Amino acid sequence: MRVIGRSRYAFAPLGQSAEAVHWPLCHPATFCVHHDAQIIRRAAACGVGRCKLCASSLYQDIEQIMSEVSQSVSELISQLGKLPGIGRKSAERLAYYILRMHKDEALALADAIRNVKENVRHCRTCYNLAEGDQCAICLDPRRKQDLLCVVEQPRDLLALEQAGVYDGLYHVLLGRISPLDGIGPEQLTIDALVRRVREGAFKEVIMATNPTVEGDGTALYISNLLRELPVRISRLARGVTPGSVLEFANKEILADAMTGRQEF
């Protein structure tokens, strides 16, 4: 098989003229099918299932090309494709990037993944990520022991820590109440939170759940459980972002900004 070039005639078997092969204009090519599986996939996706000249199945060509790929590479592509936001093509690019990496770098990546799965667990007090029974925040004596901030996920805790203005303790819910997704209070660490507040000496609990329907519902549910305890319940301030224009702010943001207004 030889390459004809970018024209309506994409490929021609050896010994055949280019004019004898009639491929649609939507299938230009600059590589032989045996060197570019993407061309075959694109042609098959557009409904071109067989070559009009030799009647060979394009799907057989796909299977032949994929069978030539190493089993280890195929397995790597399959595993990378399971990651969120990673499709088949992105998984292939990542896999071949890893193949081009230096061996030490690739093995370091593998060791980092193994260490995370083997050593990282949830803190038994606040359910943050930790490599021991308790995380570094719970073990820090400089933290305010009477201030507790409730977040949905460990990544939310990290975001607040990077802001550098909060010096109290945390409690991670490991999710939010979402009946549509089958997630109820029993799937979260709400019982542990209530027990912790009841047995502790907290003066204030800050509800730092995400400002979504599920996040607000979770915060309301928890606040009702803590209402009878002698502790102040607050939430993160909301309102107009600095540098924004009121004209383009939605009514929910404006309502929160007006309700939570401060003295100037």
Closest C-alpha to 204, from 146, 157, 141, 260: 146
Boundaries of every domain in the chain: 2-68, 71-117, 133-259
Superfamily of domain 71-117: RecR Domain 1 (1.10.8.420)
Strands 121-122 and 129-130: antiparallel
Per-residue pLDDT at 192 exceeds 80:
yes
Instruction: Give, as one character, the DSSP assignment of residue 240.
Output: P
pLDDT digits (tens, 9 = 90+) for 181-190: 999 999 999 9
pLDDT digits (tens, 9 = 90+) for 45-94: 444 444 444 444 444 444 455 555 678 888 999 999 999 999 999 999 99
Closest C-alpha to 208, from 149, 256, 162, 166: 149
pTM exceeds cut of 0.85:
no
Name the CATH topology of 133-259: Dna Topoisomerase Vi A Subunit; Chain: A, domain 2 (3.40.1360)
Which range (59-68, 131-140, 178-187, 198-207) has the least confidence?
A: 59-68
pLDDT digits (tens, 9 = 90+) for 207-250: 999 988 999 999 999 999 999 999 999 998 888 777 777 788 78
